[in-house]
Structure 1
Amino acid sequence: MRSLNLGILAHVDAGKTSLTERLLYNAGVIDEVGSVDDGSTQTDSLALERQRGITIKSAVVSFVIGDVAVNLIDTPGHPDFIAEVERVLSVLDGAVLVISAVEGVQAQTRVLMRTLRRLRIPTLIFVNKLDRRGARYDDLLQDISVKLASDIVPMGDAHNLGTRSPRFQASSGAWQAALADHSDELLQAFVNDQRIPYGKLHEELATQTRKAAVHPVYAGSAITGAGVDELTQGIRTLLPAAHPDEDGPVEGAVFKVERGPAGEKVAYVRMFSGTLSNRQSLDQGKVTAVSVFDRGSAVPRESVRAGEIGKLWGLAGIKIGDRIGATPDKLQHFFAPPSLETVVEPRRPSDRGAMHVALTQLAEQDPLINLRQDGVRQEISVSLYGEVQKEVIQATLSEEYGLEVTFRETTTICVERVAGTSEAAEFLGANPFLATVGLRVEPGTGVEFRLGVSLGAMPYAFFKAVEETVHETLTQGLHGWQVTDCLVTMTHSGYAPRQSHAHAVFDKSMSSTAGDFRNLTPLVLMDALRQAGTRVCEPVHRFTLELPPDLLGTVLPALVRLGAIPQPSATGLEGEVPAARIHGLQLQLPTLTSGEGVLETSFDRYEPVSGPPPRRPRTDHNPLDRKEYLLHVERRV
């Protein structure tokens, strides 16, 4: 049987979870279509999801369409949980992008479609909620073509919009014209007014869809079931289902980690090749149990095979983004990192330790939370995409861990970039550690460590200690922000060879260890960084603001006061605005535009801040202050 790993993506409230329910019902997996409003759906299993009626965590279900076994992953639609979507994208064969026929193309819809197109993931589009009052189709196709993708292929016509019995009537009338842009043969036939047989057209449609060259558009209602049969056939015949290689090398990717009832780690893995068996040993530990998604939820199995999605127990060292088996690649990042940060405080001081444990477990499930602990102030910070994510963290800590917490005011996360080139070195015998370390810092792309000395100059473990410490130290630059785009080259090295007394007892005081290099590297690196200098940069977002022309005179001055650089566009205004001002803009917008303004923002770049650079409190032993650093590290001045 062929297999297909399919993602359902959409802006929040477009109806993707309801569509998942309808697909499961039509496939005979469930006897009754669940309701998001009633909290009875298969994929929204968290209590918080059922209460809010939104998807927070990705969920996997499976069903069979003819000769295709589909593993369907329902993803969050709210932009605050875009990290969940990101992790799913790395394991997809194809996707269905759901658009509401009432609200149309929304901000998150654009973000998702841009990413799907950039990654060339074959994508079908489903216009949902044809049964709702105000539903559109023909003019919405034009919006989709302009705002999402010009290469769409309408798969039929919609009738009885806004009623309880909408219909979607399949038609191939527009296929030839839409496909001709990517086929010389079809273009020639189209110009000569030659009709192409349906079978050949469908074959070409499947080929172009699997190449992500075109995007077939279906329409219907997940609630009534209209159009879902046609979409189902599109999933089976147009997306790239394949016969996976179950006998090949073991290769898989972990896209989700959760905690079981006993607190154990459970890893979700998509297998690309080979077969992974229970009791098999991996770099992250030994597999103690396996379950595989099969015609519904996960069921216990002895192995998970290529093309399947499984849950693995026993891998204590597993992390999101890890590769299973032969492929060493880590999970790629497709969206901008979180640009907000807040300090979490327990209402009861005695809960501080339990809160740290709980947040650590949440960070395992969402690495972009990026937990930062300040040992000096006994504070814990988390990274965020938005205020809704803060509310979810607060509710999760309360409901799952019994911890009541509060948050300080949300602040913007900046970065530091190296301004120049400089070197620093500390030599054996002239510092408190048995090590020589010399480093040069200069602007680069990403954070990269290179050797400017011979690899045979000292044991490899010492070089590894320096490299790891360089990356760790650069998480806090001269102003406390993470240093990005920095090339670090090791220019000097030296160590004290292993020494022992007469009776061959190892003498630490006379011999270098990796700890000497770990302790010395921050002093050298920050000295070089101080001489090179850094610039603090803040995130800047692109924005588009759709609004009536008569409101331009009111909105423009408000945007300028917020630090935005606006320019007129065909539908309103567009431009850029500092990320720190977006929340204020969102709060003012309903009043400024009488509720008629539609704002879309997306991360664009980092730009140097104007005025005094903001500082972030340090959470390390402050290698910028030699006396303070040595006091903590060596317990001496």
Structure 2
Amino acid sequence: MPTLNLGILAHVDAGKTSLTERLLYEAGAIAAIGSVDDGDTQTDSLAQERRRGITIKTAVASFVVGDVTVNLIDTPGHPDFIAEVERVLTVLDGAVLVISAVEGVQAQTRILMRTLQRLRIPTLIFVNKIDRGGAQDEAVLQAISERLTPAIIAMGSARNLGGREAGFTPFEPEDSVFRARLVERLADHDDLMLAAYLDGARALSPGRLRKGLAAQTRRALVHPVYFGSAITGSGVEALMAGATRLLPRARAEGDGPVSGAVFKVERGPAGEKIAYVRMFSGTLRTRDRLRFGQGREARVTAIGVFDRGGAVKRDCLAAGQIGKLWGLGDIQIGDAIGLPREGSVQRHFAPPTLETVIAPRHPVERGALLGALVQLAEQDPLINLRQDDVRQEIYVSLYGEVQKEVIQETLASDYGVEVTFRETTTICIERPVGTGCAVEVLREPPNPFLATVGLRIDPAPIDSGVTFRLEVEFGSIPHAFHRAVEETVFKTLSQGLHGWAVTDCVVTMTHSGYQPRQSHSHAIFDKSMSSTAGDFRNLTPLVLMDALKQAGVAVCEPMQRFELDVPADTLGSILSVLAQVEAIPRTQVPRGQACRLEGEIPAARVHELQLKLPTLTRGEGVLETSFHQHQPVRGQVPSRPRTDHDPLDRKVYLLNLKRRLS
């Protein structure tokens, strides 16, 4: 049976989980519809999800429509949990973007749609909540066209908006108005359709139009729009039919090599690690020895395949399917299993921009806290767990305050550890602004290590990350020493001249040398006379930081793009406050009695603006923000305490290293 792996994405409170529940019910996968308000939905299984009424963790459920098995992946809508959405995007065949008919296009809606378009994921749009007071249809369609994409086609009309009688009437292929709109939309990417459109489109059969719509939807060129209500079920049947008819099925390369991707990791009741995997090709069987990640290997002890609801135990997992694997103790989110896919993209959204120090309420529980955070980092690597052993502090990265609250509750309820947080601070980055070179030669003071390392650091294009290259001959030193230098470069650059991660640079190894393996006469190997990988690991931070000092860095802070709707008569006060919080308005668009401002604002100042906005605008101001870019800090340059042996201070570094080795 063919499979469709379908993601449900939305801004928080657009009704995404309610739609998931309705789809499962309509397909017969569940006997009764759960409620987000009552906390008894199929996919929101965590106690916190039910208590808060929001999705925190990605969940998978399965149902059958006709001859198609649909694996439905419900993702969080709150921006604090965007990392969950990011991991899902790599395993989708198609998506449904849910928009509220009352609130319309919102900040997270735009972020999600931009990403879906960039990745060319075929997407249907479902305008939900047509039964709610204030629901609109034409205004929402116009907002979608203006703020998301003009490449849309309404697949029907909404009626009796704002009440329980609200419904959706699909357009018939013979409807002349719908036919004309569809031909006009498809003609943008189909020359034959364009010719027929210019000729009056009379020669186009309904079958030809359906085929053309499916082809362009699967290429993410057109996005069909449906209206309905997840609560009453109106429009959901049409959406289900559209998803199975218009979106592409999973390519089932059953005879190919085993290849898949891990998009979620959780712990079972006994603490065992469970990996959620999408298979792209091949067939995986219980007891198979499986390679994953960077050369790790383990045996699969059990397999669960999603089928008509949740996962059921099976002997194998085939191409196109989503399943759960047991037995892979070292598996991590983002790992490729078997043969890695070519051209896979790992980063779709901005990384966290906030950081805080987390501490146990009772100091004796520091070890328990660290163990718990390690397990949470397995499920969400972007919390970027950092330890400062000197100050006995633990840092975590965050997207927002809600995520911090969830971490606090999880640690208390699941691990029995109560914690406190320090004030949340903004995470900056460092970018080299010039070129710097440094070299230390074996047996030449002040180099105390049996290694020669020369490094050059150069600026690289924005968002290119860190690249390591060799300018020395590859065989000039043993491969293990090359690897030691490369690994240490990436580790060292996690803290630059001001303590922030260094990025957008190229590090080139320009010099290398080592002392061959030797010993005193008739004696065993003596590492005091022979170079080891440790010599290269210990020397590299000193050389790299010297090169970085020469290059110089710019500390850059995260900037948010903002859209601010305010009453026109408050514009003067708003502009004054925007200047106070260092926001830069780029455009002003009058809209009757209101005005829309767009521009950039430092991420660290967004909360301050949010607090002042209700008073300035009589409660009528609406602010939407999303990550824009990093740009150099204006004014005093912020720094972050180091958590390493401080290679910026040679004396301190060598002393700390000596203490650690002893």
**In the alignment, is the contact (CA less than 8 A) between 1:267 and 1:312 conserved in 2?**
yes
Alpha-carbon separation, structure 1, partners of 2:654 and 2:515: 20
Residues 15-54 of structure 1: CA deviation (Å, up to 9, x unaligned): 1101111111111110001100111101001100000000
Determine if contact 1:87/1:331 at 8 Å carries over to the other structure.
Answer: no
Deviation at 1:363, TM superposition (A): 1.0
What's the Cα RMSD here?
1.4
* Matched residue SS, 2:528: helix
How far the C-alpha of 1:255 sits from its partner, in A, is 0.7
For 1:298, which of 305, 308, 311 is the aligned residue? 311
Residues 1:161 and 2:161 are matched in the alignment: yes
Write the distance in 2 (CA, Å) between the matches of 1:56 and 1:584: 26
User: Counterparts of 1:232-381 in structure 2 under 5 Å?
Assistant: 232-283=240-291, 284=296, 285-327=298-340, 332-381=346-395
1:442 aligns with 2:458: yes
Rounded to whole Å, the distance in 2 between the matches of 1:634 and 1:612 is 35
1:276–1:303 contact (8 Å) kept in structure 2: yes
d(CA) in 2 for partners of 1:207, 1:331: 24
2:473 aligned residue: 454
Output the CA distance in 2 between the equivalents of 1:74 and 1:583.
Answer: 29
Q: Which runs of 5 or more structure 2 residues have no equivalent in the other structure?
A: 590-594
Whole-Å Cα distance in 2 between the matches of residues 85 and 345 of structure 1?
28
Q: 5+ residue gaps in structure 1?
A: none
Q: CA deviation at 1:543?
A: 1.2
Contact 2:388–2:394 under 8 Å retained in 1:
yes
Matches within 5 A, 1:603-618: 603-618=627-642
Q: Provide the C-alpha distance between the structure 2 equivalents of 1:590 and 1:228, rounded to a whole number of angstroms.
A: 38
Check conservation: 2:153, 2:185, Cα contact below 8 A: yes
Distance 1:158 1:422 in 2: 63
What is the letter of the counterpart of residue 627 of structure 1?
A: K
C-alpha distance in structure 1 between counterparts of 2:433 and 2:135, whole Å: 54
TM-score for both structures, normalised by structure 1 = 0.98
- Shift, 1:504, TM fit: 5.4
User: Are 1:410 and 2:434 counterparts?
Assistant: no
Superposition map of 1:5-24 within 5 A: 5-24=5-24
How far residue 181 of structure 1 moved from its aligned partner, in angstroms, is: 2.0
- Partner Cα distance (2:503, 2:382) in 1: 16
In the TM superposition, residue 328 of structure 1 has moved relative to its aligned partner by 6.1
Map of 2:138 onto structure 1: 138
Residue 162 of structure 1 deviates from its aligned partner by 1.2
- Provide the secondary structure at the position in 1 that maps to 2:518: coil
CA pair 242-428 structure 1, distance change in 2 beyond 3 A = closer
Secondary structure at 1:5 match in 2: strand
Please tell me whether the aligned partners of residues 321 and 331 of structure 1 are also in contact (alpha carbons under 8 angstroms).
Answer: no
Structure-1 residue corresponding to 2:440 = 426
- In 2, distance between residues paired with 1:551 and 1:104? 24
- Partner in structure 2 of residue 565 of structure 1: 584
* Contact in 1 for aligned 2:102/2:129 (Cα 8 Å): yes
One-letter amino acid of the structure 2 residue matched with residue 187 of structure 1: L
Answer whether contact 2:286 2:303 (CA < 8 A) is retained: yes
Q: How far has the Cα of 1:503 moved from its partner?
A: 4.0
Whether contact under 8 Å (2:430, 2:556) holds in the other structure is: yes
Q: SS of the residue aligned with 1:55?
A: coil
C-alpha distance after superposition, 1:509-568 (max 9, x if no partner): 111111111111111111111122111111112111122322211211011100011134
Question: Matches of 1:107 and 1:241 in 2, distance apart?
Answer: 30
Shift of 1:187: 2.5
The Cα of 1:206 is off from its aligned counterpart by 0.3
Counterpart contact for 2:259–2:341, Cα < 8 Å = no
- Give identity over the alignment, percent: 68
Greater than 6 Å deviation, 4+ residue runs: none
For residue 488 of structure 2, give the secondary structure of its aligned residue in structure 1. helix
Contact 2:251 2:280 in 1 (8 A): no
Partners of 1:333 and 1:48 in 2: CA distance: 27
Alpha-carbon deviation of 1:242?
A: 4.2
Q: Distance in 1 between matches of 2:9 and 2:105?
A: 13
In the superposition, the TM-score normalised over structure 2's length comes to 0.94
Distance 1:182 1:160 in 2: 35
Structure 2 residue 238 is the aligned partner of structure 1 residue 230? yes
Superposition deviation, residue 139 in structure 1: 1.9
Shift in Å, 1:185: 2.5
Q: Deviations over 1:242-276 (max 9, x none)?
A: 45111111110111111111222111110000011
Aligned length: 637
Q: Distance in 1 between the 2:499 and 2:250 partners?
A: 49
User: 1:340, 1:412 within 8 Å by CA — same for their partners in 2?
Assistant: yes
Q: Distance in 2 between matches of 1:205 and 1:541?
A: 37
Task: Kindly provide the CA deviation profile for residues 300-341 of structure 1, in whole angstroms up to 9, marking residues without a partner as x.
Answer: 111111000111111122111111111166651111111111
What's the counterpart of residue 114 of structure 1?
114
Instruction: Read off the aligned partner of 2:378 and give its amino acid letter.
Output: E
Q: What pairs with 1:93-242 in structure 2 (closer than 5 Å)?
A: 93-171=93-171, 172=173, 173=178, 174-195=181-202, 196-242=204-250
Deviations 1:351-374 (A, max 9, x none): 111111111111111111011110
